[in-house]
Structure 1
Amino acid sequence: MERVELLLLPLLLLGAAGRLKQAEGCGEQSCPQAPDGFLNVHLIPHTHNDVGWLKTVDQYYYGAHNDIQHAGVQYILDSVVSQLLHDPSKRFIYVESAFFWRWWKQQDELVRRDVTRLVEEGRLEFINGGWSMNDEAATHYSSIIDQMTLGLQFLKSTFGDCGRPRVAWHIDPFGHSREQALLFAQMGYDGFFFGRLDYQDKANREKTKQMEMLWRASDDISPPYADLFTGVLPNGYNPPDGFCWDQLCDDTPIIDDPSVEDYNADVIVQKFLKAATQQAQKYLSSHIVMTMGSDFQYENAIMWFKNMDRLIKNVNMQQINGSKVNVFYSTPSCYLQSLHRANLTWPMKMDDFFPYADGPHMFWTGYFTSRPAFKGYERLSNNFLQVCNQMEALSGLEARNGPYGQSSSTVMRRAMGVAQHHDAVTGTAKQHVNNDYSLRLSEGWDSCQVVISNSLSSLTGTKENFAFCNLLNISVCHVTETANNFKVYLYNPLGRSVTWTVRLPVNGHAYKVIGPNDETVPSEVVDVSDFTKALRFQQGGAERELIFQGQIPAVGFSSFTVGKLSLPDRFVIKGKRGKKQPDKIQNQYYRVDFDPETGLISGIHNLEKKISLPLKQSFYWYNASVGNEESSQPSGAYIFRPNNSDSVPVSQHVRSYLVQNSLVQEVHQNFSSWCSQVVRLYRDQRYIELEWTVGPVPIGDEWGKEVISLIETNLKTDGVFYTDSNGRQILKRRRDSRETWKLNQTEPIAGNYYPVNSRIYIKGKNTQVTVLTDRSQGGSSIRDGSLELMVHRRLLRDDYRGVGEPLLENGLLGEGIVVRGRHLLLLDHADEAADTHRTLALQQYMSPQVVLSSGDGIPYSQSGTPKRKFSALNGELPQNGHLLTFAMHAADKILLRLEHPFQSQESKNNSQPITINLNTLFSSVSLSNFEETTLGANMEKSRLKRLQWRTRTGSPLQMDSPRAPVVDPSNITLSPMEIRTFLANVRYKAALHGR
């Protein structure tokens, strides 16, 4: 052998999957040592397993209904583990904890020991690790944190520190949010890789070698704590063309026996060398990554590994001939370590990656609104889960095993974890799969209702027949409709007291409401609207609604006793509808004007701030494109593409009437047989409520429709508007523009749509108009001074992105689904608006829970007086303090998260740090032995040490020393946008504070 061959032999062996180095443990020490002076190609064997899409979660796991899609996750894991055990040179990554958890439960101890060894050797590595790979547009930050925590805690409890993912991996979501990057950074990830970004953005980044960058994900948290190294994968998450060797692929396998007629190793090697060289020209370092896998691949893992073995051997043999390409098995974390060791200077990213388009007329902005009813159900389910978590934590084992049976919050947590998947809350799964998502959430509600009932019995000292009326949005509740007397329990999950307006369906004319302090609470009875009666589908027959306002303490409940009054007919006030086409409604804080000719809103006034603004609000729709001469692309579940730039008004004139009493003023507007709205002002309410009802969206004209609520003002906005990022940070948007690259705008409507998770607003010189949403929707400002939110969409075409069916949602009667939701409209001074909209946004997703009973309960225990009012806190949290999480972590441990919900520059009063004393915060439980963790609660904060990166602004920013291992619970300081996470031992006090 020549001398050059002798010198290269070690490199060949090293390149051939690192056979010279046995794995010595998980983490960095298990990574192969790539040689200098070579283009090092990291092969990442992986599979992408959707937690539902074309098939349900169960169907995907078991491999059922392969006529829909060939996919069976249990076989993938069986096959991969077998191959890894067979050859210590091989590596594999796995992502979706929901599937792995199910597979793990079914394995015997021998398999579990083998898999644990693979994890400890770093050859089976968990990446990302959430229960699902969540969407980043339609998800709320609270639910993202919960689903990530669920998966990460499973991995930690099963595999210890070796099960902790070091890299975030969102290879399939359809755009990427700044808040998601911030959350990943706070969870301790060293890097983040994704597959999808706008085609124009990608072309620019490839040209300028900016496919990898440092993402500074916050203006409020000091660098480098919010910095996250981020890389765009070159081929989405697929292998390069021609190198897919799964049983689902058609690419030719490598035949490297020269005696075989179809020998092709030389051709494939040259093709690979060319692909690697071309890819390297788009990246900064001498390391590149290739994702070797795709959707539900590796069911027969031997096909992939056998061909990759041959690829590695044959490519690295070319080093003898002078090739400078070295290829080996790797993982995203090993690739990231190689990039870090390169010590290069990286570009910086500050904004986000929305909207995503994969072609000139293919903007994936429709899914921001798709399946609005499910999006609303998901948000309500998160609200219910937080109540369930808190009450379970407040009562401990009595909540899990009480008079109403055994249950826990776990069922709902898992259902919500699945619902965050990027084809679940997005509304982009097949109809039968979406039905399954809804069923899982429903089962979670059932389980949490048991927990809440047990907890309420424990906290109140009374065993009642508790009832949960989940159809109050259409005024249906058997208890209140049929009983002459009943009790109402209002539980408030927020860290400060709230006044909440209750509306209950009843059939009486007058009621007496007694509060928790034996006070008479003012109440009113109004007629159920015809709009609402039409939605019931024979699910209730209440003629009226009882309205009263109750004050509820922080993290606690108040109970109210309701009794029907028997009034002679002459005292019954009949016909409470006011004049047709009312001209205004008004309370202490707002006035809303209506145009006497059209019946539409014509102006709003903040009476407290002395601000007035001409404003028109109405409903329009866009006809959905079916394709045209520019492109055959139609509008579908993912893609929004209107047929033209002009929206069509549902009606230019509305029929309306006024309902008015001491507690509420509301104008009922009828736009058409399928579109109506109630404009409402409750007493003491500092916002205007717009309760819209849309559907069934008509398609008799053979046009799919995308329905919007449009607000028009005379504000000079210069193309600028603002949207939230996953319900938290606010981002500035400019029409027809992108912050970091020059946009060629090809779709002036769809290309300007952004995800609105909780709020959207526009500002004039001194005035701000804000709309808060109760679910995720697409929104924009297409013309200066305007805001629009897409509330519903019903389409007749598939958009060719894989789901294979149109977004029709035919509903119960096959006529199309009806959706009801709320927008909160606010007018304020621009420099003061955040104080209100931040507070209301929290209340929107952490609203009080209504629990009902007949009121004839019996004592729960022999000791103690039944409580009618209770707070788990000794004092309220300030407005800029938020109890984000209070949940059971183990039998004797609590998971506690405290959040500062304001950004650093948006409020004179509330953008200041706050300090909280955890020793005195809670009244009913005693917490001790506080341990601060990363955001995902899977690692002590004191152990966190993330990779630091050099940017074009200078040397790497160094992180301060970790917080002291011993937490001072009497002095917990929170800065703007900071979330601090703690685990603490819990002891339940014998006597609860309360009345």
Structure 2
Amino acid sequence: MISVSLSNMAALRQQQLAAALLFLLSQGLSFPLGQDSKQAPTCGYQSCHATKPGMLNVHLIPHTHDDVGWLKTVDQYYYGDRNEIQHAGVQYILDSVVDQLLKNPDRRFIYVETAFFYRWWKQQSASMQQTVKQLVNEGRLEFVNGGWCMSDEATTHYSAVIDQMTLGLRFLNDTFGPCGRPRVAWHIDPFGHAREHASMFAQMGYDGFFFGRLDYQDRHRRMTNKEQELLWRASDSLPPPVADLFTGILPNGYNPPEGFCWDQSCSDAPIRDDPDLEDYNVDDVVSRFLAIAGSQSLVYKTNHIIMTMGSDFQYENANLWYKNLDKLIHYVNAEQANGIKVNLLYSTPSCYLQELHRSNLSWPLKTDDFFPYADDAHDFWTGYFTSRPALKRYERVSNSNLQTCNQLEVLGGPISRDGPFGNGDSQTMKEAMAVAQHHDAVSGTEKQHVANDYARRLANGWKHCQVLVSNSLASLSSSSVERVYCDNLNISVCPLTESSTKFAVNVYNPLGRTVTWPVRLPVNGTAYTVSDPSGRSVDCQVVPVSSTTSRVRKGRGYAVNELVFQVLVPPLGFTTYSVSLLKDGPPPASTKHYAPTAIQNKFLQVTFDPSTGLLSGLSNLETGQSIKLTQNFYWYNASDGNNSESNQPSGAYIFRPNTSTPFVISKTAKTQTIQTSVVQEVRQWFSPWVSQVVRLYSDSRALELEWTVGPLPIDDDLGKEVITRLDTSIDTNEYFYTDSNGREVLQRKKDFRPTWNLRQSEPIAGNYFPINSRAFIKDETDQLTVVTDRSQGAGSIRNGSLEIMLHRRLLYDDVRGVGEPLNETSDIFPEGLVVRGRLMLLLDRPLTAADSHRPLAQEMVLQPLLTFTNGELHPNAKLEFSGLQASLPPAVHLLTLTQWDDNSVLLRLEHQFQSWESKTHSRPVTVNLQKLFSTLKVLGVSELNLSANQWIDEMKRLQWTPESGKRPLLKTFEDPSPWEVAFTPMQIRTFIITMSN
């Protein structure tokens, strides 16, 4: 009976092998025999194993995907702690992989997250470090991507992404030299892909980009048409091929093919290759693998295919993987003697990319992005655009604080790191911000305790930076008086200003141009005088703290009033204002309880419907424009997954409203009005958990909407997704526009995708897109732009409408791994999180709108830093300082100024306009680097690529040909002189500057 069974099994194996061979041969592949070639061991493309030109070459990529925080914190993942949550220990992965690589020189492994590798490296002995360097030098251990983390693409700002990539790549460069430089960008897990990320990767010198997730409809079309590998033209302003990036879509996300996972976390059978044992399965494994390889070859263009052999936190016991992979390669390749034209090899993404490049084919061209992402008809991953809005805001504030910290470290010199207030550093904050860019960090898709850890890291980084900032300001101002930081000014909390009768406010501006900025300080007096650095009196007003602010403070402050005035701050510098209490001054501005009809300054008029208290119109008094504008708050009922169409609920990742019509929170608003010479406010209350201040400062061209939402009530057992919607008279024709990571703008259209015919199944969630700094709607005459203070989700569901999601509180997990509902509470808000934010509205002509919204968006990202000193100013104190000789041209933005080593700094300048958006500023512009700084003498300049890990003239990238035409030739714009550098629209240039104070 046994012999009959074995005989039948053997026959079945032969049938499977024959079928697999016929399947492969039927694909039209030509298989002339090729010869292997031997190459000297070295890193990079030269270290790749030889392939066989007449065969289907299957590139096996051993890898691990190590989230820098998700279900566990960064530390817990590294050490392998809290394994009851998830079994994962990164230190053991690296230990095990290195051990296994040493046992077989054919083996390869790629590693991605420098944040983890950096920790591991520091703990290794000198001999182990030398061993690892040898593995890297031979290309057996290869770094891909190489940033501190694998960043999110929807909710990150480009400046923070560049910083975290620079941090990781610099460590690899310093440690391993050219062999440590990644050649491939690798974003296998982010939930949709931004065009600006591709543009940045191209400018960082990457030859290609691979990812795993794209919309299920898009994938189906691309598989059918063999367009899963393409050329992404990621800028409409940078001349090709500057922002061209070859992009490949991986076949299995980032997992191994089904049935071929050999990790301790997997349950697939190992390869049992002893023919004397009953459970021998080599023939079965080979036939199944050949069938999978043949099937995969049908949907890619060349005779090379890629397979990711690994997944989340795998290779903790690398022997399991490598022992089976060795056998798989051996037994499949042995079938070549029987006519099977399939060749397996250990490979890396760069080696696979090299073979695609050698094919000399042309590739489909893509110019839009990969948002939104859906993995099924009712499963749109658009909720995380807004998830954890408080963390998203804190990350944005922390980015601004880090840039200020970096700049003052340079401007203050060595004393900034070791000065009167102790030892300060920027590195702690750099690493905390880098970790926060991870695709389960600022995205809001982590467990609550992990979100708390990200926030704790940012807070700790800022503490280190505060010492540095205090030291630097002490040096630059010639005053070592103690400085106070008030991080809760957004809710009117600052103990010093609340109690002091005389104090000074130092305002530092991290932008490269002069900024006018409104200052609002919590006070308990009723009248004050404010003096500028020249001693001139500044118009100031005292207004009462709103009842909403008093409620949100939860006892953290006791000010009854706010002192409001505007300051003028020089570029890359500070100014100091003195504030004194008046004992017998006038009373504070009074609140009026009637609904206003209008507020206005010299730039804008804002009208209200007196019967509802809601906005009714907006006019630009400079241009004569006027539009109807109503604004209100609504909430979508979050699906609990219990309906006939789908069992998918809303969760941290996925937005799925239960209906297409949101519930209005209130059709009317209770109002209070305050009108002063500095600011006019209409305070609106829509419900106990939604309020807003409509605010217009005297010198502002933008209308401010300060919203406060929460705690979202759930006593009705309904999850809520709160939006604000702006309905206008603008004829949008179903188009609206969003930024990409805070930089270039993309056109969106309702129920439309540029590269495939969309079958829309979620009319709301399927029309949401990420915004990082702004979105706008327009017609031929009017453009309404909304500038945001954090990343959020937005859509234009109705003609002339723009809606922005502000807050989410959900009662169900969306079954994407996080394992808990997005139901945020805290010690301060146990009843549910309260979130406050700002939207800035601009009304302009379409052809001039960018002249306003570009600089305003930069102001929202890089806000002035306020520090305070108590009592009288030191008589010899320097009250004003600018690190620049003059403001930069309006088209130029100072992106990075940070200490590089003891004698040099890293400087990035960028042209911040697209080629088509401004008649005035979308032109080339030059900057003289020698005449840039006021106190720093520039001795020498060298230019690098965007990530600062290659000299710009040594950066050589693989060039690709689009199907739509010939390979483009780069057009260059020459610098006028060695010191005068030119910038064309959207160009970022990175320099190492040698200088002296």
CA shift, 1:751, in A, is 0.2
What's 1:935 paired with?
946
CA shift, 1:968, in A, is 4.7
The reply on whether 1:584 has 2:598 as its aligned counterpart is yes
2:437 to 420, 423, 437: 420
Aligned AA for 2:736?
F
Aligned AA for 1:671?
F
Contact 2:543 2:589 in 1 (8 A): no
Aligned AA for 2:904?
K
Aligned AA for 2:992?
L
1:390-469 correspondence runs (5 A): 390-469=407-486
* Alignment partners' CA distance in 2, 1:457 and 1:857: 12
The reply on whether 1:768 has 2:793 as its aligned counterpart is no
Contact 1:723 1:761 in 2 (8 A): yes
CA shift, 1:856, in A, is 5.0
1:984 to 971, 993, 996: 993
The reply on whether 1:819 has 2:828 as its aligned counterpart is no
1:547-946 correspondence runs (5 A): 547-567=564-584, 572-573=586-587, 576-627=590-641, 628-811=643-826, 812-856=828-872, 865-946=876-957
Contact 2:524 2:561 in 1 (8 A): yes
Contact 2:681 2:695 in 1 (8 A): yes
* Alignment partners' CA distance in 2, 1:257 and 1:19: 29
CA shift, 1:963, in A, is 8.7
Counterpart secondary structure, 2:159: helix
CA shift, 1:969, in A, is 4.4
Contact 1:689 1:824 in 2 (8 A): yes
Residue deviations 1:641-698, cap 9 Å, x none? 0001010011011100101111000000000000000000001100100000000001
Residue deviations 1:964-988, cap 9 Å, x none? 9xx9542100000000000111211
1:262 to 279, 297, 302: 279
CA shift, 1:575, in A, is 6.3
1:970 to 967, 979, 990: 979
CA shift, 1:84, in A, is 0.9
Aligned AA for 1:878?
P
CA shift, 1:572, in A, is 3.7
1:46 to 60, 63, 66: 63
Aligned AA for 2:233?
R
What's 1:11 paired with?
none
Counterpart secondary structure, 1:86: coil
Contact 1:137 1:176 in 2 (8 A): yes
1:189-268 correspondence runs (5 A): 189-268=206-285
Aligned AA for 1:156?
N
Counterpart secondary structure, 1:645: coil
Contact 1:392 1:399 in 2 (8 A): yes
Contact 1:720 1:735 in 2 (8 A): yes
* Alignment partners' CA distance in 1, 2:67 and 2:766: 27
Contact 2:504 2:873 in 1 (8 A): no
CA shift, 1:929, in A, is 1.9
What's 2:19 paired with?
none
* Alignment partners' CA distance in 2, 1:460 and 1:288: 62
CA shift, 1:172, in A, is 0.1
Contact 2:736 2:776 in 1 (8 A): yes
* Alignment partners' CA distance in 2, 1:836 and 1:408: 35
Q: Which runs of 5+ in 1 are unaligned?
A: 1-17, 860-864, 989-995
What's 2:321 paired with?
304
Identity of aligned residues (%): 58
The reply on whether 1:385 has 2:399 as its aligned counterpart is no
CA shift, 1:907, in A, is 0.4
The reply on whether 1:953 has 2:940 as its aligned counterpart is no
* Alignment partners' CA distance in 2, 1:674 and 1:479: 30
Contact 1:932 1:980 in 2 (8 A): yes
Counterpart secondary structure, 1:578: coil
Counterpart secondary structure, 1:463: coil
CA shift, 1:954, in A, is 3.1
Aligned AA for 2:138?
E
The reply on whether 1:376 has 2:393 as its aligned counterpart is yes
RMSD: 1.4
What's 2:337 paired with?
320
Aligned AA for 2:697?
Y
Contact 1:145 1:936 in 2 (8 A): yes
Aligned AA for 1:51?
V
Change (3 A) 1:22 1:68: farther
Contact 2:36 2:50 in 1 (8 A): no
Contact 1:97 1:151 in 2 (8 A): yes
CA shift, 1:483, in A, is 0.8
What's 2:25 paired with?
none
* Alignment partners' CA distance in 1, 2:424 and 2:348: 39
The reply on whether 1:64 has 2:64 as its aligned counterpart is no
Counterpart secondary structure, 2:906: strand
CA shift, 1:579, in A, is 3.8
Aligned AA for 1:756?
I
Which stretch of structure 1 is more off in the superposition, 948-957 or 639-648?
Answer: 948-957
* Alignment partners' CA distance in 2, 1:926 and 1:699: 60
What's 2:13 paired with?
none
Instruction: State the TM-score, normalized to the length of structure 2.
Output: 0.95
CA shift, 1:374, in A, is 0.4
Contact 1:492 1:553 in 2 (8 A): yes
CA shift, 1:542, in A, is 0.4
Contact 1:396 1:891 in 2 (8 A): no
Residue deviations 1:546-588, cap 9 Å, x none? 1111111010000111111111xxx542661024211111111
Contact 1:48 1:297 in 2 (8 A): yes
Residue deviations 1:268-302, cap 9 Å, x none? 00000000010010000110000000000000000
What's 1:12 paired with?
none
Change (3 A) 1:314 1:908: same
Contact 1:654 1:669 in 2 (8 A): yes
Residue deviations 1:884-919, cap 9 Å, x none? 001111111100000000000100001011000000
Contact 2:373 2:382 in 1 (8 A): yes
What's 2:8 paired with?
none
What's 2:500 paired with?
483
Contact 2:239 2:971 in 1 (8 A): no
What's 2:122 paired with?
105
Change (3 A) 1:963 1:930: farther
Change (3 A) 1:575 1:773: closer
CA shift, 1:135, in A, is 0.3
CA shift, 1:956, in A, is 2.5
Change (3 A) 1:852 1:676: same
Contact 1:465 1:857 in 2 (8 A): no
Change (3 A) 1:841 1:960: closer
CA shift, 1:24, in A, is 2.2
Contact 1:943 1:962 in 2 (8 A): no
Contact 2:589 2:674 in 1 (8 A): no
Aligned AA for 2:841?
L
Contact 1:668 1:678 in 2 (8 A): yes
* Alignment partners' CA distance in 1, 2:967 and 2:58: 26
The reply on whether 1:497 has 2:514 as its aligned counterpart is yes
Aligned AA for 1:199?
Y
Aligned AA for 1:74?
Q
CA shift, 1:830, in A, is 1.1
Aligned AA for 1:706?
E
Counterpart secondary structure, 2:947: coil
Instruction: State the TM-score, normalized to the length of structure 1.
Output: 0.95
